[in-house]
Amino acid sequence: MPRIQGVDIPPNKPTHISLRYLKGIGPTTSLELCEKVGLDPQRRASELTDDDVAKLAVVIDRDYLVEGALRRFDGANIARLKEIKSYRGDRHRKNLPVRGQRSKTNARTRKGPRKTVAGKKGVKDK
């Protein structure tokens, strides 16, 4: 089982699919990576030699922001938005949609499971 960037162990899938188990590597980057390192994207990840894995690690380290570093980067950006008291920072703080979506209904991804409020009736009353 190959191991790249610490803990990630992509299993018995084609290399370009396996690589996508790393945060920060999607379909495009994954194929790009295979090309840069000179691997056949269709070969199973389990068939990668230690040498291939080492090469992959080097290229990822050099060219891409993945896993912890990426999370820190995103976190820092959000912290910045909060810090400067921008509207977007405010929306992050309140766990509401940031990009202007409606929040009267829906927005459940951000708001989490519905919290029923006692005394509130149907749409008519709003």
| DSSP calls for 36-84 | HHT--TTSBGGG--HHHHHHHHHHHHHH---HHHHHHHHHHHHHHHHHT
What SS3 class is residue 24?
Answer: coil
Q: Residue 72, interface with other proteins (CB under 8 A)?
A: no
- Per CB under 8 A, the segment of 6-14, 44-52, 60-68, 113-121 that binds other proteins is 113-121
Q: Does 122 bind other proteins (CB under 8 A)?
A: no
Does position 119 bind other proteins by CB under 8 A?
yes
> Which of 3, 64, 58 minimizes the C-alpha distance to 29?
64
- Binding span for other proteins by CB under 8 A among 8-16, 18-26, 49-57, 115-123: 115-123
Give the interface with other proteins as residue ranges (CB under 8 A): 80, 83-88, 90, 93-94, 117-119
